[in-house]
Amino acid sequence: GDSVTQMEGPVTLSEEACLTINCTYTATGYPSLFWYVQYPGEGLQLLLKATKADDKGSNKGFEATYRKETTSFHLEKGSVQVSDSAVYFCALNLDASGNTPLVFGKGTRLSVIA
Amino acid sequence: GAVVSQHPSWVICKSGTSVKIECRSLDFQATTMFWYRQFPKQSLMLMATSNEGSKATYEQGVEKDKFLINHASLTLSTLTVTSAHPEDSSFYICSAPRTSGRLGQYFGPGTRLTVT
């Protein structure tokens, strides 16, 4: 079945360090790919998305490129801030109609220290 | 803009009582909504798919008689935890699809349930 695998956390970085959170997927078709962020005590917010191969999603300094050849969608940021501390979820959706739930990775907790 | 709200944001109840959690789509209609459960420091676990005007579809292992889902209108789905026990304490999150599945979903802010 469809699945998402993302790197285990927690990840602890100093402010202004570079961030990469790896995400790979297994899917029978051509999924849309997403990164969601969850701040402490809150629900999930869409961080960025990509709907086809070679698309690059970007938002708030974060980027991820849909790599079909490696079935990956790694999240990157060049300089993290303390406010980036959160849990990050990689997810996919095969259904263009949206009537099926997202398939989530297990989440990666990021802590950024000043 | 389009958002999903949940009410209450947190609730504490005594063991044996029932708790209702509301999930509303604001400024858009949602014929389908999803209910997730999240344990501390873990990922989201899909509990059920809520369908407007019909019965919910539950995931394997989720007790449908314990977690009652009603999707009575195009903007409201409710999850009722019946005869709650301490092991039902968790963070419950609902979501609704955007206009296209390729755009992802809108997530509610979550409801933290504590059963004492």
| B39-97 tens-digit pLDDT | 888 888 999 999 998 899 999 999 999 999 999 899 999 999 999 999 999 999 999 98
pLDDT value at residue B82: 97
Query: Of the candidates B59, B57, B58, B55, which has an alpha carbon nearest to the alpha carbon of residue B72?
Result: B55
pLDDT value at residue B2: 63
Q: Do A102 and B41 touch (CB under 8 A)?
A: no
Q: Which two tokens stand for residue A42?
A: 């809150």
Helices (H), ranges, chain B: none
pLDDT value at residue A22: 97
Question: For A17-31, what is the mean pLDDT?
Answer: 94
Question: For B3-19, what is the mean pLDDT?
Answer: 95
Query: Of the candidates A62, A73, A66, A59, which has an alpha carbon nearest to the alpha carbon of residue A19?
Result: A62
**What's phi and psi for B87, nearest 5 deg?**
-70, -10
Q: Distances from the Cα of B75 to the Cαs of A18, A90, A94, B29, in angstroms?
A: 41, 27, 24, 5
The per-residue pLDDT for range A48-101, each reduced to its tens digit, is 999 999 999 999 999 999 999 999 999 999 999 999 999 999 999 987 777 788
Question: For B25-30, what is the mean pLDDT?
Answer: 90
Parallel, antiparallel, or unpaired for β A108-113 and A11-14? parallel
Task: Identify residues of A whose CB sits under 8 angstroms from chain B CBs.
Answer: 32, 34, 36, 41-46, 49, 51, 89, 91, 93-102, 104-107, 109
The SS3 call for residue B74 is coil
pLDDT value at residue B58: 96
pLDDT value at residue B101: 61
Q: Are A69 and A80 in contact (CB under 8 A)?
A: no
Report d(CA B116, CA B15) in Å as an integer. 6
CB pairs under 8 A between A and B: 74
Q: Percent of chain B at pLDDT above 70?
A: 96
Rounded to 5 degrees, what angle do the CA atoms B89, B95, B96 make?
Answer: 155
Give the closest-approach CA distance of B87 to chain A in angstroms.
Answer: 19
Reported confidence tier of residue A28, pLDDT bands at 50, 70, 90:
confident
Query: Of the candidates B37, B26, B16, which has an alpha carbon nearest to the alpha carbon of residue B79?
Result: B37
pLDDT value at residue A94: 83
